[in-house]
A = this chain, B = another copy of it.
Amino acid sequence: MLLRSLLLLLLIAAPTLGRADDGYRLWLKYDQLSDAGLRKAWQGQARGIVLESAATPTLQTAANELQLGLQGLLGQPVAVGNKAGGKGQIRLRVAPNPALGKEGYRVSTQKNGLEITGPTDAAVLYGCYALLRHVQTGQRPGNLSLSSQPRIQYRLLNHWDNPNGTVERGYAGSSMWKWYELPERIDPRYQDYARANASIGINGVVLNNVNASARYLTTEYLQKVAAVAGVLRPYGIKVYLSVLWAAPKVIGGLPTSDPLDPKVKQWWTARTNEIYKTIPDFGGFLVKANSEGEPGPQDYGRNHADGANMLAEALGQHEGVVMWRAFVYKANSKGDRFKEAYQEFQPLDGKFAPKVLVQVKNGPIDFQSREPFHPLFGAMPRTPLVLEVQLTQEYLGFATHLVYLGPLIKECLEADTHTQGPGSTVAKVVDGSLEKHSVSGIAGVANIGSDRNWTGHPVGQANWYAYGRLAWDHTLSSAAISEEWTRMTLTREPTAVASITQVLNQSRNIYVRYTTPLGLHHIMGQSIHYGPEPWLSQSARPDWTSVYYHKADSAGLGFDRTARGSNALALYAPGVRQLWGNPATCPPDYLLWFHHVGWKQQLSTGRTLWNELCTRYYSGADSVLWMQRQWEQAKPALDPELYTDVASRLRIQHREALWWRDACVLYFQTFSRQPLPSGLTPPTRPLTEVKEIVDIYQLR
């Protein structure tokens, strides 16, 4: 009997041979709707698809995707044709409609059935995905009327992918771009990647790392880039390239890369013309210059505007744009990195050519788990600013911690810059409405790699999804998106959906609590940006240490950025300055970003700083156990492989939350010299032991 039981167990655990739900399909899961009534209701509406406009590749793609989705969801054949044929036909039609902009769609109920229209074929494609989403999330047909247009024009993914197949700060395998195989071999993933992006409205991708190789500008590589562009084009997606500022020297044989040198200008113009000969709808350039050792116009005494404008000129009459990153900071142990991008870029406002957008990270430091919005937002009214957010979890637990980023992105978008009075949100700066720009952009640093499920952590897919949805419409709520994603990707069973979305929606706050509560920032393991290392005091640059940021001493904790300190607060509009400048009104979540607070100082929460700090570290780590329970509750509704995958990662997350908690509490206790608040059990391991762990992860 025992043997039989063992064998039975073995059979259950038998190799799945890749047949389980391995996450490859992302949220585009066109499995048959289990609710027969719902299925029937839709079946009558979807007997066929009629192409009423000329079948461009994009329109054909739209019809094809709609057919694929509806056939799967409804379990019936759905024919595609170009002639209306009775009731229940879904008509796709390109038709001008000033109310929809260039990319907006309308899905409406007409006499003979549903109609999906838009002013361009890409708009119709977006409409098809909107209808599929509607069906897939379990909505009823009713008198259907869906209409939406994007609020931001350039909705990009930035890949930090290197030509050697590695991904800078990538945690989902290697790069999905197989440069050695291109242009001859087109990996089938490219098309599925395009489908996923188009389904959430992403219309541009930068293929390579901002720490760029010049090779992409060579004729050899442009052939490869063109092959990728060919796959993405029918999905309404343009390719962009990050460029190495020194390219004219490195591959052009010129002695200089000075943007004002005529030969340099000429070289860029010639290269740009060749790019457009090869890729007529090329999107444009992304540039990281004079930042973290990258070359740039300052090497020749020029400024960022000189550089960006020269590239804009090279683009000439072509449609492409220049996205010039404002992520710059100089090593200065007496300075405040917080202020440096502002100081370099704000004075250039008004100096950039019309084709230039300046790309600004959400916060002033570098993708920390919580940052105040970047002070450049609202401070460069004559320059369109691209918001750059990071989907790959460089500082948020890689692919092992479950952190849904919807709340983080929304927090930035909804932040009020007060630059033109209350309500001057970052979203309104970015979408161009506040400062009346005709171009607007947003960029998400991709969390996508060659891993079968694309993002390593299955819930990383939700971050790709949420980014796309917010890039399209930043007024959507983070919770609505997490529910939508869950219903499309994991399950439509209501209690499981509730259980899972609670985890997602709380996850970012929980991560902040057990790593960097109360506005702590940049205290993670050096170089790898993983695990706690608040004691780090020596590094290649002062602003790459932890002590630079937390300033712990016997008196207290936090970076004084008021007028008594670095005065970084002065970069913000008065409305912000007043709120954040006073420790009593500064939200606890931002407190240590701006104030050096005494250990015994009482906070608005009613606890002293020290007690509040400890409480947050402990409750944060404990909350991971809550996440585990919530996930377990959803188990019956989930694919077993997927359930186990996330459950395992949540166990890692709890182990590492304790690592963070113990490291930070024990380390900061050496300054506070106070016991833990009552009710909290002190760590059982000494600080020396915790310190060793992060070193291990930094060994060659």
Contacts and interface: CB of A to CB of B under 8 A. Distances in A.
Interface of A: 3-4, 6-7, 10-11, 14-18, 20, 22, 24-25, 28, 51, 55, 60-61, 63-64, 67-68, 80-82, 163, 165-166, 171, 173-174, 180-181, 184-186, 188, 191-192, 195, 213-215, 218, 220-221, 244, 250-251, 398-400, 449-452, 530, 641, 645, 648-649, 651-652, 655, 693, 696-697, 699-700
B7 A699 contact: no
B181 A648 contact: yes
Contacts of A180: 171, 398-400, 530, 652
B655 A184 contact: yes
Contacts of A641: 188
A213 B697 CA distance: 10
B699 A213 contact: yes
13 contacts: A10-B63, A165-B174, A171-B180, A173-B450, A174-B449, A181-B399, A181-B649, A181-B652, A184-B651, A215-B699, A218-B696, A221-B696, A250-B699
Most buried by B among A82, A655, A697: A697
A81 to B, nearest CB: 7
A181 B696 contact: no
A700 B3 contact: no
Contacts of A7: 55, 60, 63-64, 80-81
B185 A645 contact: yes
Contacts of A697: 215
A652 B24 CA distance: 27
Given A15-B195, A214-B699, A699-B250, A6 B81 contact: no
A184 B648 contact: yes
Given A18-B24, A251-B699, A450-B174, A184 B68 contact: no
A642 B486 CA distance: 33
Contacts of A166: 166, 174
A52 B10 CA distance: 17
Contacts of A398: 180
A52 to B, nearest CB: 11
B171 A173 contact: no
Contact of A64 (B10, B51, B450): B10
Nearest to A162: B700
Contacts of A220: 693, 696
Contact of A186 (B80, B191, B648, B700): B648
Contact of A18 (B25, B163, B213): B25
Given A10-B63, A171-B180, 12 more contacts: A7-B80, A10-B61, A14-B68, A15-B191, A17-B25, A165-B173, A173-B174, A185-B648, A215-B696, A215-B699, A218-B696, A221-B696
Contacts of A652: 180-181, 184-185
A82 B648 contact: no
A250 B695 CA distance: 10
A449 B655 CA distance: 28
A700 B7 CA distance: 53
Contacts of A655: 184
Given A60-B7, A81-B4, A16 B696 contact: no
A637 to B, nearest CB: 21
Nearest to A218: B696
Contact of A173 (B6, B28, B173, B693): B173
B173 A68 contact: no
Contact of A3 (B15, B82, B215): B82
Nearest to A700: B213
A522 B3 CA distance: 57
Which residue among A61, A214, A215, A699 has the maximum number of chain B CB atoms within 10 Å of its CB?
A699
A450 B170 CA distance: 14
A400 B4 CA distance: 47
Contacts of A80: 7, 11
Contacts of A67: 11
A182 to B, nearest CB: 9
A184 B645 CA distance: 10
Contacts of A700: 213-214, 244
Q: Which 6 A-B pairs have the closest CB atoms?
A: A185-B648, A174-B174, A184-B651, A184-B652, A215-B699, A18-B24
A641 to B, nearest CB: 7
A67 to B, nearest CB: 8
A142 B517 CA distance: 72
Nearest to A250: B699
Contact of A10 (B60, B186, B399): B60
Contacts of A251: 696, 699
Nearest to A23: B18
Q: From A15, A24, A645, A655, name the one whose CB has the most chain B CB atoms within 10 angstroms.
A: A15
B184 A55 contact: no
A398 B180 CA distance: 9
B82 A14 contact: no
A697 B204 CA distance: 26
Given A7-B80, A250-B699, A696-B218, A64 B14 contact: yes
A267 to B, nearest CB: 16
A80 B8 CA distance: 9
Nearest to A11: B64
A218 B693 CA distance: 9
A392 to B, nearest CB: 13
A251 B648 CA distance: 29
A7 B398 CA distance: 42
Contacts of A24: 17-18
A68 B174 CA distance: 32
Given A25-B17, A184-B652, A188-B641, A6 B55 contact: yes
Nearest to A244: B700
A439 to B, nearest CB: 31
A120 B518 CA distance: 60
Nearest to A64: B10
Nearest to A9: B60
A220 B17 CA distance: 31
Given A7-B60, A7-B80, A181 B400 contact: yes
A632 to B, nearest CB: 15
A143 B92 CA distance: 65
Contacts of A25: 17-18
